[in-house]
Structure 1
Amino acid sequence: MNTMTTSARGHRHPGRPAQISRERIVAAALDGGNLDTLTMRELAARLGVTHGALYRWVPSRDALFDMISEVVVDRILPADEPTGARWRPWLARLAWAMHDEFLAVPGYATRVARPHRHNPGSFGRLREAVIGAFTAAGVGGELAEQSWYIFATSTVSWLAAQESSLNLGHSEPRFELFLDSLLRGLPARAPGAVRPVTRRP
């Protein structure tokens, strides 16, 4: 009689934490379906593990979104640094990357647009990079910070509205028109201040 157990043969029991990794969790979460409605039980089923095993790696949906945001921010941040002559094209590239990556994951833009605790690591890096672009544009301190608020909330809100198919008229919303109008109004300036004329590269 063969008394060798499944474990002794080298196969792991279903649901063992060793079957999971950060990369597998994020890949499974991004693999189809609406991220905003994804439950931890559904994610565990996608991974082929028990609900309890998943919670040893990811204690909550907030922690799951933290993992996902780290991956998304890694994908959207340009590799180069913004410069004084190229800060606006740099922001445009970032915004288009946000457009492509956010809308590629159903439910992600909607989730990010809602009030909640954002991952201080991933979104902190995004914030610092965008503030760096506005600093390169010649503003600093509070105005650079306010410019970040305007850029981030406007872009994410536009993407969330696009994702929810909000019908505001007959023509299809065009991101390039939105982005051009947004960047023309940035960086922020104090009320009544005259905006310096800058040459568009």
Structure 2
Amino acid sequence: MAKERASAQNKDDRAGAGPARRAGDRGRYGRLSRERVLASALELVDREGLSALSMRRLGAELGVEAMALYRYAASKDALLDGLVEALYLELEERLATADRTGTPKWRNELHRIARATYEVCLAHPQVVPLLSTRMLAVPLARRPLAVLRQHERVLALLRDAGFGEVRATAIFRAFTGWVLGYASVELQAMVDNPEEPDPAFRLGLHRMPSQELPRLREAAATLAERGGPEGLTVGLEALLDRFAGA
């Protein structure tokens, strides 16, 4: 990963060495690069949410005019795709460590991928909705390479474990749906009034009709607590047991 980023930086440096480079490409932190632009966009969204992200605002963060950013992200949609790319690059970095456990490799590796994905999602909760919405908008072949490499990682792992194409694809879909769905549920908004010490009023249960929603009101306090990585593991084990035993 470090070599890839260094190579990308060198390309940016060579591309900007000639007189055609715009003065606006040099911000308060020096020469821009795609990595720096995406890192700043991620920091901004982590801090203030997706609604704060715009070319003008990101340019101000970097100390350049907004037009200077279009070299690195051609549109707002491209910038959003870049945020997805940044999360998957972080996932790759987390997965770069060697596997030293003795459990069956394919299952252990899927658990490792799931746990790392969960950790990345919790580290960047404001970006998590894009992991679903951008996949709905962007065709497979146009997704960032980091996303495609992760798809390839899981599918190759399953095929190497002896699953045929159809079964491997089914497991891939179930695995992806469980992990991203679990992370999304963990991060869903639950608290109605953070300043309220009483749990029922904190969750806003008084706003929910008791006769129409008795079970939901009863379960709300438990739903508000995160299941954590343990819940992720239990659900994934059940899912993999189903496919392994079929």
Aligned Cα RMSD in Å?
A: 2.9
Matches within 5 A, 1:1-201: 16-18=24-26, 19-31=31-43, 32-37=46-51, 38-77=53-92, 78-79=95-96, 80=98, 85-114=104-133, 115-117=136-138, 119-166=143-190, 169-171=220-222, 172-175=225-228, 176-186=230-240, 189=243, 195=245
1:9 corresponds in structure 2 to none
CA 1:59/1:91 → structure 2, altered by over 3 Å: closer, same or farther? same
**TM-score, length-scaled by structure 2:** 0.62
Distance, in Å, in 2 between the alignment partners of 1:69 and 1:187 is 30
Distance, in Å, in 1 between the alignment partners of 2:48 and 2:131 is 13
CA 1:29/1:173 → structure 2, altered by over 3 Å: closer, same or farther? same
Structure 2 runs not aligned, ≥5 long: 1-21, 192-218
CA 1:136/1:29 → structure 2, altered by over 3 Å: closer, same or farther? same
Report deviation, 1:70. Answer: 3.2
SS in 1 for 2:245: coil
SS in 2 for 1:170: helix
Using CA pairs below 8 Å that are at least 6 residues apart, which structure has the higher relative contact order? Answer: 1
Report deviation, 1:153. Answer: 2.0
**Sequence identity, in percent?**
27
Report deviation, 1:35. Answer: 4.8
Distance, in Å, in 1 between the alignment partners of 2:152 and 2:68 is 35
Equivalenced residues, count: 179
One-letter code aligned to 1:195:
G
Distance, in Å, in 2 between the alignment partners of 1:187 and 1:120 is 32
* Higher helix proportion (structure 1 or 2): 2
Structure 1 runs not aligned, ≥5 long: 1-13, 197-201
